[in-house]
Amino acid sequence: MERLLITGIAGGQGRLVAKRLSDQFAVSGVDRAPWEGHPDYITVHTMDLRKKKFEDIFRRERPSAVVHLAFVRHFRADPMVRHEINVVGTKRLLECCAAYGVKRLVVLSSSYVYGALPESPYYMDEDTTLNVSRHYPDIRDLAEVDTLCSTFLWKYPEIATAILRPVPTLGYYVHSAIGAYLKLRWVPTIMGFNPMVQFIHEEDLAEAIGRTIELGLRGIFNVTGPGAVPLKVAIRETGGTAVPLLEPIARTAIDGLFRLGLYHLPPGALDFVKYPCTIDGRRFREATQFQPLFTLEEIFGSVRH
Amino acid sequence: MDVPTGDLTSSDAIDLADSFGALSDLVGGMLDSVSPSLIRELNHEIRDRLRRSPIRVNSYGYDPWGYNPDVARRTLLLFALLYRYYFRVRTTGLEHLPKGRLLVIPNHAGQIALDAAMISVATVLEADPPRPLRGMGEYWLPTLPFFNVFMARVGGVVGTPKNARDILEHGEAVIAFPEGVRGMNKTFAERYQLQEFGYGFMRLALETQTPIVPVAVVGSEEQAISIANVQPLADLLGMPAFPVLLNYFPLPVRYHIAFGKPMEFRGNANDEDEVIGKKVEQVKDRIHDMIQAGLRRRSSWFW
């Protein structure tokens, strides 16, 4: 049985991917946080990607496939640590993949790398530039990671590297920024703006990642779910109440609260509730015949409070 | 997929608060008290016609670009009243509308884009099947609070090349004014003289193999009489034009809207301007002839 290594295996998405692929692969995983009570057919190494011993896993286990999910997407950590884990950690992982004969690699990027800009097309394809740093520099490390992996993709044609850029993911296991935002009782929005937002269910994303590994897909792919609704419909459907704020007030307030650690997102994130960041998922669907199983109703139901 | 019934549900209560749909609702409500049956019947007629249109919406009532038939209906109600009772529009040639994707290319005039609204009402109220038109907006429109939501709900999108291609490949009917503000803000002395056409629509039609439906609007060019355009002042204010008008409220002219037979073009969308320009001229000539025919037929501005 071929071996699959999942980084960030203890996160919600990591667990789902591990289960999805454990029939075809001997699955092992790395995570900084432990996975209590993991199934015994899965090997879990509680370890930091930046540690020297990380390479030992490759030496010892010789995985033929790797799914890279170990990213810090929240802002609770020191920004330096965040940058190090995301960018330096990915670089280390890519070097190991090249050195130890990995044949298939999937990296989970996100649609956020395109940024939310007023002049962006509604359904951005994979050739759109990664504009997120223009107004939301706090997550530019994720755009750097994406670019780093694209370079790797072209540099090592013998490795089937796939970069997946899914739309915001919701579900029971996954903790996403948009999920935390929608779970607020009073959800701040910007007055006079109500962009379309796409969602995908975590199980569907696990299926998409699983299929990418199975098919040995190579390239950059947007991954979309069942469709889009205006942001305020999503807020209502998940049980919250939209609180429209005047933009200058919203920016000042969120900047202050974020600095004090009372709000989980920096003000740059406000662009994503102002302008659409919607993507075109045709390339992935044509390559994999992937069809999301979960409807928008079910997705909203999974995070309703 | 169900098209919502169109009664005020909580979903569009959210949107109404966020768009000018509330304004037209208010006007509709005021008129409702004066002439309830007329408004009610028109409202029902628009609702039924939007339901029969080929635009599909998801279970929450939105299409992928944010179009929502409830907000569209409220907006159309206001313009449909203008269409029937103020401009008393006479529309011909709607039987020419092809099925599937198409580009509606009209002349542009009248200082404010009521011509766009009247053409949009015509394709909903009188075409079979009804075809709500999708407009292409300027890049900065999404930055306008409230208006950006309204624009999306009534079917507009930002006119990026990708959006235009996507929406046509989705089988929609798109309206574009190749004259732009050059046409809309021309003076009274220049009425019915087609201004320079942009080439973008032709490249788009060639790329997506979309039939072009030429449209001639007669009447719009007399609704607001512009004696001059003070361009330095416009530049100073950052506006596209600064017209000096005799009347700032549109005159009750009669509109005549003629839809021509679809024109199909083949060729390379990336040809140089000279080649594209020749094709654009054919469309412009056709619209010119249709305008002249319309002018000959009408006996006065108001009748």
Cα-based distances in Å from B50 to A66, B26, B71, B73, B105: 50, 21, 11, 8, 22
Preferred mutation among B14, B62, B63, B68 to probe A, highest tally of A CBs within 10 A: B14
Give the integer Cα–Cα distance in Å for A71 and A107. Answer: 10
Q: Count of H helices and E strands in chain A? A: 11, 12
Residue B154, number of CB atoms within 10 A of its CB: 26
What is the per-residue pLDDT across B186-219, written as a single tens digit (0 to 9) for each? Answer: 899 999 999 999 999 999 999 999 999 999 999 9
Residue A277: pLDDT band with limits 50, 70, 90:
very high
Polymer length in residues for chain B: 303
Task: Inform me whether the pLDDT recorded for A129 exceeds 90.
Answer: yes
Interface contact flag, A121 B158, Cβ < 8 Å: yes
Which residues in chain A are closer than 8 Å to B148, comparing Cβ atoms? Answer: 192-193
Predicted ipTM of the assembly: 0.90
Query: A14 by DSSP, 3-state: which?
Result: helix
What is the per-residue pLDDT across B65-82, written as a single tens digit (0 to 9) for each? Answer: 999 999 999 999 999 999
**pLDDT for the residue B18:** 54
Give the integer Cα–Cα distance in Å for A209 and B276. Answer: 45
**pLDDT for the residue B20:** 57
B133-137 and B157-158 beta bridge pairing: parallel
Task: Inform me whether the pLDDT recorded for A51 exceeds 80.
Answer: yes
* Matching residue, tokens 């990336």: B270
B287's enclosing H/E stretch is: helix B273-297
Give the integer Cα–Cα distance in Å for A169 and A203. Answer: 9
Which residues in chain A are closer than 8 Å to B166, comparing Cβ atoms? Answer: 121-123, 280
Task: Inform me whether the pLDDT recorded for B4 exceeds 50.
Answer: no
Q: Delineate the domains of chain A, giving CATH numbers in brackets.
A: 3-174+199-226+278-292 (3.40.50.720)
Q: Are the beta carbons of B229 and B185 closer than 8 angstroms?
A: yes
User: Which residues share a beta bridge with B256?
Assistant: B90, B218
Interface contact flag, A233 B166, Cβ < 8 Å: no
Average pLDDT of the residues of chain A: 95
3-state secondary structure A168-215: CEECCCCCCHHHHHHCCCEEEEECCCCCEEEEEEHHHHHHHHHHHHHH
Token digits of residue B172:
């929609």
Q: What are phi and psi of B99, to 5 degrees?
A: -75, 160
What is the rounded (10 degree) CA torsion for A222, A226, A229, A231?
-60
Residue B15: pLDDT band with limits 50, 70, 90:
low
Which is higher by pLDDT, A154 or B301? A154
**pLDDT for the residue B239:** 81
Task: Inform me whether the pLDDT recorded for B12 exceeds 50.
Answer: no
Is the link from the previous residue into B129 a cis peptide, with omega within 30 of 0?
Answer: yes
Q: Tell me how many degrees the CA angle B262-B268-B270 measures, rounded to the nearest 5.
A: 115
Query: A78 by DSSP, 3-state: which?
Result: coil
Average pLDDT over residues B162-174: 95
* Matching residue, tokens 């504009």: A131
Task: Inform me whether the pLDDT recorded for A261 exceeds 90.
Answer: no
What is the per-residue pLDDT across B169-188, written as a single tens digit (0 to 9) for each? Answer: 999 999 999 998 888 888 99
A26-31 and A3-7 beta bridge pairing: parallel
Which residues in chain B are closer than 8 Å to A120, comparing Cβ atoms? Answer: 160
Exposure string of A105-130, with b = 16+ CB inside 10 Å and e = fewer, is: bbbbbbbbbbbbbbebbbbbbbebeb
Query: B136 by DSSP, 3-state: which?
Result: strand
What letter does residue B135 receive in the DSSP assignment?
E
What is the per-residue pLDDT across B106-157, written as a single tens digit (0 to 9) for each? Answer: 999 988 889 999 999 999 999 999 999 999 888 888 999 999 999 999 999 9
What strand order describes the sheet that includes A43-46?
A43-46, A26-31, A3-7, A65-68, A104-108, A160-166, A219-223
Q: Are the beta carbons of A82 and A140 closer than 8 angstroms?
A: no
Q: Are the beta carbons of A238 and A305 closer than 8 angstroms?
A: yes
Average pLDDT over residues B257-263: 97
Token digits of residue B4:
């919502």
Positive or negative: CA dihedral A80, A169, A211, A281: negative
What letter does residue A85 receive in the DSSP assignment?
I
Q: Are the beta carbons of B135 and B156 closer than 8 angstroms?
A: yes
Which residues in chain A are closer than 8 Å to B139, comparing Cβ atoms? Answer: 118-119
> How much of chain B is helix, strand and coil, in % rounded to 5?
45, 10, 40
B152's enclosing H/E stretch is: helix B147-153
B114-125 vs B36-52: helix crossing angle, rounded to 10 = 70
Does A282 contact chain B (CB < 8 Å)?
no
Residue B40: pLDDT band with limits 50, 70, 90:
confident
What letter does residue B260 receive in the DSSP assignment?
P
Scanning B37-96 for CB atoms below 8 A from A yields: 58-60, 62, 64-66
Token digits of residue A12:
């919600």
Which residues in chain A are closer than 8 Å to B140, comparing Cβ atoms? Answer: 118-119
Scanning A217-276 for CB atoms below 8 A from B yields: 227-230, 232-233, 236-237, 242, 244, 247, 275
Amino acid at B80: A
**pLDDT for the residue B5:** 38
A26-31 and A169-170 beta bridge pairing: unpaired
Give the integer Cα–Cα distance in Å for B92 and B207. Answer: 29
Interface contact flag, B143 A191, Cβ < 8 Å: no
Interface contact flag, B145 A247, Cβ < 8 Å: yes
H helices present in chain A, as ranges: 12-21, 54-61, 79-83, 89-99, 140-155, 177-182, 202-215, 231-237, 247-259, 282-288, 296-303
Residue A36, number of CB atoms within 10 A of its CB: 7
Nearest residue to B97 via CA among B152, B172, B3? B172
* Nearest chain B residue (CA) to A236: B11
Average pLDDT over residues A155-159: 97
Q: What are phi and psi of A33, to 5 degrees?
A: -95, 145
